[in-house]
Amino acid sequence: MLGPTKGAARIILVGDAAHPATPDSGQGASMALEDAQVLGVLLCHYLRGLHPDEALPKVAKGCEDLRIPRIEKINNLGKRYLNGNREFSCFKAAVRDLMVWVMCHLPLRVMLWINPTHLYDGVFLENPDIA
């Protein structure tokens, strides 16, 4: 999804085929699931009133518009982690491991309150071309 040719014609690439994740980000599968969710929502929306030949270019553009900022953010974080992991002290590793445990045990509502950026509902409400 990172360029005009990724969603061209009748093929829309998702996941690592569209945007490989850095190995240190650990987000390849989750980004593919997010891609699939956004693709599904946009397909449902645009196929309601348009012929598939008209809908697919709009779906491809919508996917790119919604996903590119998040993909770039995740890949930039992965690059930063890659550089930061080279000099990782025992204390930093312990703090990281504790935070992973805490985040895995927090209720979903708290997680959404901490970082709701992975939700696209706000984007659909703010962008009349998509909603």
Element (H, E) at 100: helix 90-105
* pLDDT tens figures, 51-105: 988 998 999 999 999 999 999 988 888 877 766 656 668 888 889 889 888 878 7
CB 65 within 8 A of CB 121: no
Residue 131 — pLDDT band, cuts 50, 70, 90? very low
Read off the pTM. 0.58
CB 95 within 8 A of CB 87: no
As a three-state string, the secondary structure of 3-35 is CCCCCCCCCCCCHHHCCCCCHHHCCHHHHHHHH
Closest CA to 55 of 84, 1, 12: 12
Structure tokens at 89: 């002290």
Structure tokens at 103: 């985040």
